[in-house]
Amino acid sequence: MIKNHPHQNVYFNFFAGKNIKERFELDYWGLSYKQALEYVLENDSSEIINIQVSQHPGVYNQFILK
C-alpha cells in the first residue's frame, strides 16, 4: 500500500474477490493517469508513442503533457 501512495485507493489484493468494478469505487477521477503517462514518457524513447485511454480523465491528462 505504501508504494502505491497517493493512489492506494485503487489497489485491491486477492481477498477483494471478483467483480471489483461493481463493488468498489476505483480511480474515477483519473488521478493516476498523469503519473502513468510521465512514466511512459521517461521510459519509452520512441519518437511517437501511441496510447489508448477509456475515460475522459485519461484524454485530458494526455493534453496536459503536451
Per residue in 21-49, pLDDT tens? 666 666 666 777 888 888 998 999 999 98
Lowest average pLDDT, out of 18-22, 37-41, 52-56, goes to 18-22
3-state DSSP of the chain:
CHHHCCCHHHCCCHHHCCCHHHHCCCCCCCCCHHHHHHHHHHHCCCCCCCCCCCCHHHHHHHHHCC
Predicted confidence at residue 15, as pLDDT, reads 63
Q: Which residue has the cell 512514466?
A: 39
**Comparing C-alpha atoms, which of 37, 38, 34, 13 is closest to residue 24?**
13
**What is the phi-psi region of residue 52: left when phi exceeds 0, alpha when psi lies from -120 to 50, beta otherwise?**
beta
